[in-house]
Chain A
Amino acid sequence: MNVAVQASNIDMEFGANGVRSQVLFGVDLQIEMGKLTMLVGPSGCGKTTLLSILSGTLTPTRGDVDVMGGRITSMKDRQNVEFRRERIGFIFQQYNLLPALTAAENAGAPLVTAGMKLKDAAERARVVLETLGMGPHVNKLPRQLSGGQQQRVAIARAIVHEPALVVCDEPTAALDADTGRQVMALLKDASADPNRAVLVVTHDNRIYHYADRIIAMEDGRIVGDSANNTLPEGIHVH
Chain B
Amino acid sequence: MWAIALKMLTGDRAKYFALVFGIAFATLLMSQQVSIFIGLMTRTASQVLDVREADVWVMDPRVRYVDEVEALPDEALGRVRSVAGVEWAVPFYKGLAILRTPGGLLNQVSLVGVDDETMIGAPRTWLAGDLAVLREPDAIAFDAQGAAFIWPDVEAVDTIGREAEINDNRVIVRGVVDASAPFITFPIAYMRYSQATAITPPTRNKMSFVLVRAGEGQSPRELAQRIEAETGLQALTRIDFAWRSVTYYLTRTGIPVNFGITIALAVIVGAAITAQTFYLFVVENLKQFGALKAIGATNGQIALMVLLQAAVVGAIGYGLGIGVCALFFQISDDVPALEGFVLRWQVLWGTAAVVGVIIMIASLGSLLKVFRVDPAIVFRG
The count of chain A contact residues (Cβ–Cβ below 8 Å) is 34
- Which of B268-276, B336-344, B371-379 interfaces with chain A? B371-379
Q: Are A98 and B291 CB-contacts (below 8 A) given A52-B376, A93-B381?
A: yes
**Taking beta carbons and an 8 Å cutoff, which residues of A are in contact with B?**
48, 51-52, 57-58, 77-78, 81-82, 84-86, 89-90, 92-94, 96-101, 105, 109-110, 112-114, 117-119, 157, 169
Docked-complex contact B296 and A101, CB < 8 angstroms: no
CA distance A10 to B372 in the complex (A): 24
Which parts of B207-238 form the interface with A (CB within 8 Å)? none
CA distance A90 to B374 in the complex (A): 15
Which residues of the partner chain A approach B374 to less than 8 Å between Cβ atoms? 57-58
- A100 in complex: contacting residue of B11, B376, B378, B381, CB < 8 Å: B11
Give B89 Cβ to nearest chain A Cβ, in Å. 72
Give A120 Cβ to nearest chain B Cβ, in Å. 11
Which residues of the partner chain B approach A97 to less than 8 Å between Cβ atoms? 291
Which residues of the partner chain B approach A105 to less than 8 Å between Cβ atoms? 4, 7
CA distance A172 to B321 in the complex (A): 49
Give A128 Cβ to nearest chain B Cβ, in Å. 14
Docked-complex contact B379 and A51, CB < 8 angstroms: yes
Docked-complex contact A58 and B376, CB < 8 angstroms: yes
The listed residue with most A CB atoms (<10 A of its CB), out of B8, B11, B288, B378, is B378
- For residue B107, CB closer than 8 A to chain A, the reply is no
The count of chain B contact residues (Cβ–Cβ below 8 Å) is 28
Docked-complex contact B12 and A84, CB < 8 angstroms: no
- Using an 8 Å CB-CB cutoff, how does the interface string of B1-36 with A read, 1 for contact, 0 for none? 101100110111000000000000000000000000
Docked-complex contact A86 and B381, CB < 8 angstroms: no
Which residues of the partner chain A approach B7 to less than 8 Å between Cβ atoms? 98, 100-101, 105
Which residues of the partner chain B approach A93 to less than 8 Å between Cβ atoms? 379, 381
Which residues of the partner chain B approach A100 to less than 8 Å between Cβ atoms? 7-8, 10-12
CA distance A217 to B185 in the complex (A): 86
- A48: nearest residue on chain B (CB-CB)? B379
- For residue B204, CB closer than 8 A to chain A, the reply is no
- B295 in complex: contacting residue of A51, A52, A99, A110, CB < 8 Å: A110
CA distance A110 to B1 in the complex (A): 10
CA distance A23 to B111 in the complex (A): 90
- B296 in complex: contacting residue of A48, A82, A98, CB < 8 Å: A82
Docked-complex contact A81 and B293, CB < 8 angstroms: yes
Closest 3 CB pairs of A and B: A100-B11, A85-B296, A118-B3
Which residues of the partner chain A approach B294 to less than 8 Å between Cβ atoms? 57, 84, 90, 96
Which residues of the partner chain A approach B11 to less than 8 Å between Cβ atoms? 98-101
- Using an 8 Å CB-CB cutoff, how does the interface string of B324-352 with A read, 1 for contact, 0 for none? 00000000000000000000000000000
CA distance A101 to B10 in the complex (A): 11
Which residues of the partner chain A approach B297 to less than 8 Å between Cβ atoms? 81, 85, 113
The listed residue with most A CB atoms (<10 A of its CB), out of B291, B293, B295, is B295
- Using an 8 Å CB-CB cutoff, how does the interface string of B171-203 with A read, 1 for contact, 0 for none? 000000000000000000000000000000000
25 residue pairs of the A-B complex, CB under 8 angstroms, read A48-B379, A48-B380, A57-B374, A77-B299, A78-B298, A81-B296, A84-B294, A84-B295, A86-B296, A90-B295, A93-B379, A93-B381, A94-B381, A96-B294, A98-B7, A98-B8, A98-B11, A99-B288, A101-B4, A112-B1, A113-B1, A113-B297, A113-B298, A117-B3, A119-B3
- For residue B262, CB closer than 8 A to chain A, the reply is no
- For residue B287, CB closer than 8 A to chain A, the reply is yes
CA distance A86 to B380 in the complex (A): 23
